[in-house]
Every structure is written in structure tokens, then in C-alpha cells.
Amino acid sequence: MTRDPIILTTYDWVPDFPRGHVRDIRIRWLLEEIDRPYRIETVPLQKKTPEHLARQPFHQVPMIRDGELSLFESGAILLYLAEGTDLMPGGDDRMRTIQWLIAALNSVEFYSAAWLVGKFFHKNEQSAAEFGKIAQDKLAHLQDVLKGRDWLVAGRFTVADLLMADILRLPAQHGLLDGLPDLRAYHDRALSRPAFQKALADQIAHFRAADAAMAQASA
Ligand SMILES: N[C@@H](CCC(=O)N[C@@H](CS)C(=O)NCC(=O)O)C(=O)O
């Protein structure tokens, strides 16, 4: 049976800074991993609409549509799409995978996001340093868990690794993984997957095409 493509919604355009990191990247990555066809639709970043709010109560992206079902929250979307694929193990490992996916969002991204906001948005060195220290403490614990194993659950790459590795990208790019070689190796192992490379290239291309369309419209 052929299924309709998933519709993945992201912004029509973003400035340079978040390119490569807009959270649709997680969904693109998973869709590439499971070889599920999808197409991109957009909502405007600069003039947020009631239609957008009706689907995403915080006026954010990503969102997906699968037939009649519209979903928001990247973690929930990943869990939905991973179900029944190699990225979601069975038995007790299913709940372990969900546990680690929630830990990625709530125990790692929570602190790395606070660090990011302090550092890049509020440009508050003291807040960035405080949250950076807490984030590094969590990352050290994560490295302990990964000692002697390649992936978080079931001895194979799962949706929990996909999300964890994406969440580690900004901390890794800004030195928070320095001194954590096993965690760095885990992160590199995940990001070397062709599905991630394709997702990253596609997101960058999407926003470059938006630049070109804007330049043409204003010419
Ligand atoms: N918890 C949400 C966070 C989504 C989120 O922060 N999206 C960003 C883009 S990566 C966004 O839309 N930011 C604009 C805003 O918050 O107004 C998820 O994981 O889907």
C-alpha cells in the first residue's frame, strides 16, 4: 500500500543564525532514516497567522500532517513517525527508548537551551556560565551512561539517539563537549549518518532558496 507523503511544516525563511538548527531538522532526519516520503510546506516567520496558531498553540514549528492528523512538538512527532520502524525497538526497550527521548528533551535540552538563551539572546555572561555549568554536569553524566556502548538503548541507533544527538549539536559547536571524548564520539557517530547529512543539506537549501526568492521579488 502506498501512503501519502508526510507534510512537514517549517518556516518560510529564517536569518542565518538558526539555519541548520530549526527543529524541522529532527523530523527531516528521521524521515530520511526510515525512507518515508515527505514534502515541505511553510508558515511565515515574520507575520504569524491564526491558521498557524490553530495548529501549533505556541506559534512554533515544526508541525506535520499525516492524512487527517496534524501534530506539533518535535518529540511527539518523532515518536509518532518512529513507531513500527527500526528506530523504535520492541518489548521493554520501547519504553526505555521513550524514557531516553524524554530525558533528551527535559534533562539535556532544558539546560542547554537555558545556556543558549543566556549566551546568545540575552548576552548575559553570568547566566550563560551558570547554565553552561549545569549543562556540562548533565553531559558528563550522559557520557558515563554511554561508556562502553555505542547507543543509548538496545545496542542500536534509535529515535532517542537521533533526538539526543541533535540536541547535542549546539553544545558541541560551542565547546560544552570539550573534555568529554566518549560523548563527542557518540555525537560524531550519530551525525555521520547519511540521513542526517541529507537532512542538514536540505534544510540549508530550503532557506537559501527562500533568500533567492526574496532577492528576486525585490529586484
Ligand atoms: N518544544 C517545541 C519547540 C519548538 C521551537 O522552539 N521551535 C522554534 C524553531 S526551532 C520556533 O518556532 N521558534 C519561534 C517561537 O518560539 O516563536 C518542539 O520541540 O517542537
* Phi, psi of 9, deg, nearest 5: -105, 130
DSSP string, 104-166: IIIIIIHHHHHHHIIIIIS--HHHHHHHHHHHHHHHHHHHHHHTT-SSSBTTB--HHHHHHHH
Q: Residues of CATH 1.20.1050.10 domain(s) within the chain?
A: 92-194
DSSP 10: E
What is the pLDDT, as a whole number, of residue 2? 67
From-to residues of CATH 3.40.30.10 in the chain = 6-85
State the fold for domain 6-85: Glutaredoxin (3.40.30)
Report whether 119 contacts 174 (CB < 8 A).
yes
Tell me the mean pLDDT per 10 residues along the chain, length 219: 88 97 98 98 96 97 98 98 98 98 98 94 93 95 96 97 98 96 98 98 98 91
92-194 CATH: 1.20.1050.10
Output the pLDDT for position 194. Answer: 98
User: Which residue is closest in CA terms to ligand 1's atom 17?
Assistant: 60
Q: Which of 10, 22, 24, 61 to mutate to test the pocket of ligand 1 (most atoms within 8 A of CB)?
A: 61
Residues with CB under 6 A from ligand 1: 22-23, 59-62, 73-74
DSSP 69: E
